[in-house]
Amino acid sequence: MTNVTNVVIAGLGGQGVLKASDILADAAFRAGLDVKKSELHGMSQRGGSVSSDVRFGPQVLSPMVPPGEADVLLVLEETQVEINRPILRANGILIGPDVLAEGALKNKKSLNVALLGAMSMVLDIPEEDWLTAMYANLAEKLHKINEHAFALGRAAALERNQAG
């Protein structure tokens, strides 16, 4: 399956991993692509490790990203980076919580959306689809704070790219 983009989002229960993957899947869906998203629910609300796979492209078959084939790995919690690293392909892109400067985020709960912002700089999905997906998947009272977080993530990624 060429032309399929593989993304894995990981973290701990309660961090909004599934919300983040919902937004990503929805954004790709709105961009007109075939999308599959998969994860294991269940014990995630009790603080265990959680990860979610999102694949998109002209046609997606299996909903799960095979080990070593993720193009992008987004991790919300430093301790979860190493255990998820085997999913990433050689030269794949890792986006971790260290993308943001310490204290840059007004509300820690929007870390998931901030890192999506950073990821939006490396994925081929129009910004308006990202924003529409974000609004559709979050309660209205959360829109402002997450808009801010998303923009912050984009700026941080840009800065990092320029520095690198």
Partner 1 sequence: MTGERLLLSGDDAVALAALHAGVKLGTGYPGTPSTEILETFDHLGGRAQWSPNEKVALEVAMGTAFAGARTLVTMKHVGLNVAADPLFTAAYTDIEGGLVLVSADDPGMASSQNEQDNRHYARAAALPMLEPIDSQQAYDFTWLGFELSERWKIPVILRLTTRVCHSKTVVVPRARIQDQPEPSFERNIPARVMIPAYAKPAHHKLRQKLAEIAAWNEQEGPTRLDEGKAELGIIATGIAAVHAREAAPDARQLTIGLTYPLPMERIRAFADGVERLVVVEEGDPMLVDALRAAGIPAEGKPEMYRFGELNVARVRRILAGDTSPEPVPPKGKPPALCQGCSHRTVFQALKDLDCIVAGDIGCYTLGVLPPFSAMDTCVCMGASIGVGLGMRHVLPEDQARRVVSVIGDSTFVHSGLTGIAEMVYNPPATGHLVLILDNGTTAMTGQQEHPGTGRLLDHSPTGKISFEALAASMGVQNVHVIDANDREDGMKTLIADLLAKPETSLVVARQPCVLAAPKIRFYEKAAAEQGCAAEPAS
Q: Is 141 in the site for partner 1 (CB under 8 A)?
A: no
Which pair of structure tokens corresponds to residue 117?
């912002």
Which of 48/126 has CB closer to partner 1?
Answer: 48
Please tell me the distance from the alpha carbon of residue 90 to that of residue 88, in angstroms, as a whole number: 7
Number of H helices, E strands in the chain: 5, 5
Which of 29/93 has CB closer to partner 1?
Answer: 29
Contacts of 150 (CB under 8 A, 6+ apart): 113, 114, 116, 117, 120, 130, 131, 134
Q: Is 46 in the site for ligand SF4 (CB under 6 A)?
A: yes
Q: Is 41 in the site for ligand SF4 (CB under 6 A)?
A: no
Q: Is 132 in the site for partner 1 (CB under 8 A)?
A: no
- Which residues here bind partner 1, judged by CB under 8 A? 1, 12-13, 22, 25-26, 29, 34-49, 51, 60-64, 66-67, 79-80, 82-84, 86
